[in-house]
Each structure stands twice: as structure tokens, then as C-alpha cells.
Structure 1
Amino acid sequence: MGRPEKPVDRTVPACAKLADFLRRRKTDADLTYEQMAEKMNGLPSKATFERAASGASVPTWDTVVAFVTATTTAQVWLMSTSDPMVRAKKLWVCARRATRAPYY
């Protein structure tokens, strides 16, 4: 077992919600970031998955898709009451909007 994760950065609440969602998926799938990277053949990397779940910034949409894909096990999929990709997209869009300068 590795060292414990740092707490989610809560500076931008929308980013924190996305990070919480990603971390919950990782925990439910009972995977490490290294196992997730291996499952995705190394792309994205372990470090990219870690950054995506930190809450410090908004990951790319491709990274979020890979995160959800890597953490979707048969058991998690069967227990889900909604499509996790739809939820991920909503959270990602909110985080992107919260970190972009408003248009004038």
C-alpha cells in the first residue's frame, strides 16, 4: 500500500467536486493509479491520473474519459443507477466554466 493521498484542493469548488467524483470511482473500483494506467496501456500515465483527481486544475476531457473507463468494472457498472460518463461530463463542464475568465 502506498502513501495516503493529499486532500483534494478545494480552492475552486467545481474542481473539487470533479476530483471527489473521480476519487470515489477509483475507490469503488478498488484500483491504484498505477493499476489504472496499466489498464489503459500507460496512456494516460499514473501521474496524469493523480493530477486529475487532485482538484488543483481541470484535467482534459480525454483524461476524464480514460479515468471513468479505467474505473468501470463489471460490479461498478451493474451497481450504477446512471451513466457515469454523463455525470463526469456535467462535472467537467462546470469545472471548466469555473476556471475560465468570463466573456465580455
Structure 2
Amino acid sequence: MSKSDSAKTPLNERERNPLLSETDINYILLNGAQIALTKLKRAKSTENSLFYYAEIGAYLEVSLSRGAGISDSTREELQLLHREATHEHMSHNKALNRAE
């Protein structure tokens, strides 16, 4: 099949090779949230802390999309990471407020 033939063939009739598999998206979400949590723990300012906390929240929100291949175990793990991030962010804010 030449390049011009494949352009004329409808997408559903062509062989599709998605770049990401369902397990890849789960790894991306979990690893991204874990990296953000690590950065949150090292944050030295309220702005940075809030940024990384929001980033973890975004990963959790994306995981709630149905039909995207995101497993229940990934959702549960992200909820645990978000809970830990909430405690970390709150204690970080307390420490900064005491220092001021």
C-alpha cells in the first residue's frame, strides 16, 4: 500500500498502532504524581507548594476519566498520594506561617 493509498483509506480500516498503551497511561499518571509529591516535600515557598499540590490534584482528576484505560488500582493509588500531599501541603503552610 502506497502513501497515497493509505491517505484514501478510512482510518478505521487502516492498521492503528497507538503510541500509548493502557498500562503506559497508568505509569505516567502515577510517576508524575510521585515526582510532584517529592517536589512538594522539598518546596521552600508557598507558591511552589501550592503548584505541586495542584499538579497532583490534576493527575487525580485525569484519573477519574472513564474509558481512558486508567485502572482502579491507579485511581486508588493516586487518591492515597493526594491525601498524603494534602497533609504535606497543610503542614508546609503551617511551618511557613509560624516562621513569619
Q: TM-score, normalised by structure 1?
A: 0.33
Rg: which structure is higher?
A: 2
Bigger relative CO (Cα 8 Å, ≥ 6 apart) = 1
Which of the pair is proportionally richer in helix?
A: 2
